[in-house]
Amino acid sequence: MISQKLNVSNPKLWSIEEPNLYKLVSEIKADGKIIDIVETEFGIRTIRWDKDKGFFLNGKHVVIKGMCNHQDHAGVGSALPDRLQYYRIERLKEMGVNAYRTSHNPPTIELLEACDRLGVIVMDENRLMGSTPEFTDQFEHLILRDRNHPSVFVWSIGNEEWKIQNNDVGKRIAQSLIRIQKKLDPTRLATYAANNGNQYEGINSVLLIRGFNYMNISNIDKYRKEHPGQILFGSEEASTLCTRGIYENDSTKGYVDDYDHNKPGWGALAEPWWKFFAAREWLAGAFVWTGFDYRGEPTPYKWPCINSHFGVMDVCGFPKNNFYYYQAWWTNKDVLHIYPHWNWKGKENQPINVWVQSNCETVELFLNGKSLGKKTMEKNSHLEWNVIYEPGLLEAKGIKNGKIISAKVETTNEAAIIKLTPDRSSINADGEDVSIVTVTALDLRGREVPVADNLIKFEITGNGKIIGVGNGDPSSHEADKYLDGNYRRSLFNGKCQIIVQSNKEKGIITLRATSDNLKSDELVIQTSDITLRPAVMSYNANK
């Protein structure tokens, strides 16, 4: 083992706002020739924890505004192309998220690289707790592999190990893992995601940083009084249940309304949990369960559901309405979001519950030009009106720092036109890069139809292929992949998604979308040359 020190004068620090990175090139030479070379990206920053003030990055107080995530995405499962990692992190950052918990397993390197480059701090989580070589070797590998990533700010030794977290067995295992962590990386601390309420004995007793899974099964204020020397944060909160674009619970279809109404017994709604944490400076922040919906754990309904409802976004990364609650109170952006949609044929003269998520000081609601009243926004809250439905224009006007901000929903006509919108119209011709295409349906006036459910068919030609489709419907049994190449997907509440991947030849990709009774749309994606990454050639072991 060779050790070497170097000094960096006036370094540009890595931070959430400016994720500056350096590259270290390590060479091994023999007889004057380079025989091996490794390039390591790293960042320079300081991290500090305080039992009364929480977390500090480069001396600046940072409230952890995090999301727990599994790493799967619509159409492709867990084998995400690198660009899709960036897309998902970008969506989280747009919401105001600054932290990512890799629940409940080590992340891929590509995910950490995305967090390094985009400025998101990471709670890097171990999968299995144990003190035998099988378990300790895996934990050692995790730390050795990930410790140069500046985004990693805390190690998690485990999650919800019910059988051992309250006893001496768990305590001894935790001590063993923490010893390994301190030896291999003394610059960071370790934590554990505990769902054992106010229990201190066992694993929690050996932690400097204690993570709470779910305030509703804990008395955090009481625990703080009893253990004032421990740093506290929410390792897993909320578990709010929503289905994008749905406004009435439907147990037959497996849908949950897209207000902040529903939660499992252990969970909390978005607004109450955040108000609780935001009011306590000694809580370092928390991670929400989850940023995105994911395959499995369909709660509160089972079959035909195949996805969770926990995400603040669906499996495609399309936002649900709580996205805008967090955005309003986790960012400095001007936020004014009104829902539900205003296509309620058959419900004329019936009351519709209208919500506004905003960080405006006041908001006034108008229906077809008539004021329905002005309301004052309480911090970390939302506003509601009960509105007698009539078709037309529902508009909200807010005031923030003397500036007028407006948002609207309006009654549309039937879907008539398909619209394809790529996240990027130029990608690399490396056989890996992707363009994530949003598919919507418009009426003849060019307005998105929020209830459209048309079946869309796709054709692709040129230098690329379709690798997956999705629509965010947690009960959809449509295929994500079609081996015959005849890709298709129904819109779910006005949207679906298609992922297009390049091949290794530069040129163009043409994607065409058609549907019965809708005007088709066509999209051209450019692919350009790029230096390919070094790779080991594939070999057919059957030869």
Alpha helices for 284-333 (secondary structure H): 322-330
Residues 370 and 287 placed together within one structural domain of the fold: no
Query: Do 177 and 111 share a structural domain?
Result: yes
> Which run of H or E residues covers position 114?
helix 109-118
Q: Are residues 213 and 74 in the same domain?
A: yes
Same domain, 399 and 460: no
- Best CA proximity match to 143, nearest among 169, 112, 173: 112
Q: Which of 279, 304, 330 is the last residue of a domain?
A: 330
Residues 423 and 487 in one domain: yes
The whole domain housing 67 covers: 61-239+263-293+316-330
- The answer for residues whose C-beta is within 8 angstroms of residue 390's C-beta and 6 or more apart is 348, 349, 367, 368
The 3-state secondary structure of 400-425 reads: ECCEEEEEEEECCCCCCEEEEEECCC
Nearest Cα to 472, choosing from 431, 446, 439, 500?
439
Phi, psi dihedral angles at 277 (to 5 degrees):
-70, -40
Asked if residue 169 is part of any domain, the answer here is yes
Q: Does 14 fall in a domain?
A: no
Q: How many domains does the chain have?
A: 3
Q: How many residues are there in the chain? A: 543
Supply the DSSP string of 23-51, one letter for each residue: EEEEEEEETTEEEEEEEEEE----EEEET
Q: Tell me, yes or no, whether 56 lies in a domain.
A: no
63, 283 Cβ separation under 8 angstroms: no
Residues 73 and 220 in one domain: yes
Question: Residues 133-174: pLDDT tens digits?
Answer: 999 999 999 999 999 999 999 999 999 999 999 999 999 999
Residue 79 and residue 111 in one domain: yes
8 Å CB contact between 110 and 88: no
How far is Cα 458 from Cα 465, in angstroms, rounded to an integer? 11
- Do 181 and 113 reside in the same domain of the chain? yes
Average pLDDT (25-49) is 94
pLDDT bracket for residue 269 (50, 70, 90) = very high
288 and 403 share one domain: no
Residue 533 pLDDT: 58
Residues 90, 186, single domain; the answer is yes
Q: Does residue 21 lie in a domain region? A: no
Asked if residue 256 is part of any domain, the answer here is: no
What pLDDT, on the 0 to 100 scale, is given for residue 541? 45
Contact 56, 48 (CB under 8 A): yes
Tell me: do 271 and 129 sit in the same domain. Answer: yes
Give the CATH number for residue 322: 3.20.20.80
φ/ψ bin of 202: left (φ > 0), alpha (ψ from -120 to 50), beta (otherwise):
left
543 domain-assigned: no
Residue 364 lies in a domain: yes
Residue 1 scores a pLDDT above 90: no
| Cα separation, 119 vs 242, whole angstroms | 28
Per-residue pLDDT reduced to its tens digit, 386-409: 999 999 999 999 999 999 999 999
> What pLDDT, in 10s, does the model give residues 226-239?
999 999 999 999 99
For residue 220, tell me if it sits in a domain.
yes
In the chain, the percentage of residues whose pLDDT exceeds 70 is: 98
Domain with 424 in it: what CATH number? Answer: 2.60.40.10
88 and 218 housed in the same domain: yes
Residues recognised as catalytic:
160, 236
